[in-house]
Amino acid sequence: MRDARTALDTLAGWLRGRYRGGRVLGVGHRVVHGGARFAAPTIVTPQVLEELRQLIPLAPLHQPYNLAAIDAVAERIPDVAQVACFDTSFHRGQPAVAELVPLPKEIRDAGVQRYGFHGLSYEYIASVLPDVAPQIAAGRVIVAHLGSGASLCAMRNGKSVDSSFGFTAVDGLCMGTRPGAVDPGVILYLFQNMGLSAQDVESILYKKSGLLAISGISNDMRDLLGSSEPAARLAVDYFVYRAAKEIGALTAALGGLDALVFTAGIGENSAEIRRRICEASSWLGIELDANANERCGPRISREGSRVSAWVIPTNEELMIARHTGRLLGLI
């Protein structure tokens, strides 16, 4: 798709073909950043849109495209209500220590804090836990959203208490093309000693790092698992190592762990990565059921495992549809 308008026209054509005679009652959008203010989905008004535009510098690679889709709908079907659902909202309400970036006050006052992302995915998982795994729904749960973007969320009683993403969706776990946590001194070094520009560094951090950089082959986990190249093996080793290390850190934040849930492209489909992460986390009391893991669960830990492990497919689109329907009084 060339731009939001072309995408919308294509989608509208598909909708008309599929639901002949139907009428659009509302449009829900995934918007990556809701800042500190939007702790819940919200109906889009001109004022809301203006506030969301002010957040573009916080997510320059995602927010403009999300807002372009809202603009395209407003232009084509101006009378239809739109709802913005944020990837950050689910994490609002975390303890102050989890949100803090300990830099000078004027920097924090300008909006520099840990926001967390993948919130719609985590909210969906929290919403289905009472049905899929009622025994852990009120407990201490780490959800591992492992896809092209990857992060972990620590939940207590279905609420986010911390996550591996921070101010941006670069922090935390190793991802397809993003490095995850990097000593900030490295970034300074890139500017001061390697003479790189801000644009170079942005491109390195978002597009040229992570699994792609380590392997030199691909950012797709399937390619790496199928390769016998030492660099591909190192990329997978690092992915697992970082995930297991961060699971340990979030377990400390939760004061213990009752369950680990895998979701998203890698988490839902790769029995090998799940096995390796569970093995690296066996010290926490996770005992994997190899057959259940191969069958993709939903429960993949053995009966009697002190910490249970699960595979639950995520559904961010359904979460957006539910929010949109509820906010517009349609359901």
Q: Which residues are marked as active site?
A: 87
Residues 324 and 41: beta-carbon distance below 8 Å: yes
What are the structure tokens assigned to 130, written together? Answer: 């009472």
Count of residues engaged in binding ligand AMP, rule: CB under 6 A: 12
* Near ligand AMP by CB under 6 A: residue from 137, 266, 309, 311: 266
315 is a site residue for ligand AMP (CB under 6 A): no
265 is a site residue for ligand AMP (CB under 6 A): yes
CA neighbor of 144 nearest in space, from 291, 284, 314, 30: 314
Between CA 96 and CA 22 the distance in angstroms is 46
Q: Which stretch binds ligand AMP (CB under 6 A): 77-85, 162-170, 220-228, 243-251?
A: 220-228
269 is a site residue for ligand AMP (CB under 6 A): yes
Between CA 282 and CA 88 the distance in angstroms is 31
144 is a site residue for ligand AMP (CB under 6 A): no
Identify residue 207 by its one-letter amino acid code. K
306 is a site residue for ligand AMP (CB under 6 A): no
* Near ligand AMP by CB under 6 A: residue from 82, 89, 270, 301: 270
Give the 3-state secondary structure of residue 184. helix
Over the window 85 to 104, marking each residue x when it contacts ligand AMP by CB under 6 A and - when it does not, the resulting string is --------------------
Give the CB-side neighbour count of residue 300, counting CA atoms within 13 A.
30
Between CA 117 and CA 124 the distance in angstroms is 13
* CA-CA-CA-CA dihedral for 63, 142, 179, 2, to nearest 10: -30
Over the window 31 to 60, marking each residue x when it contacts ligand AMP by CB under 6 A and - when it does not, the resulting string is ------------------------------
Residues 261 and 153: beta-carbon distance below 8 Å: no
Q: How far is the CB of 55 from ligand AMP (least distance, A)?
A: 23
3-state secondary structure 79-116: CCEEEEEECCHHHCCCCHHHHCCCCCHHHHHCCCCCCC
295 is a site residue for ligand AMP (CB under 6 A): no
220 is a site residue for ligand AMP (CB under 6 A): yes
169 is a site residue for ligand AMP (CB under 6 A): no
CA angle 284, 290, 291 (to 5 degrees): 140
Q: Which stretch binds ligand AMP (CB under 6 A): 26-34, 195-203, 243-251, 264-272?
A: 264-272
* Near ligand AMP by CB under 6 A: residue from 176, 179, 180, 297: 176
Q: How far is the CB of 222 from ligand AMP (least distance, A)?
A: 5
Q: Which stretch binds ligand AMP (CB under 6 A): 13-21, 55-63, 218-226, 277-285?
A: 218-226
Binding site for ligand AMP (CB under 6 A): 147-148, 176, 220-222, 225, 264-266, 269-270
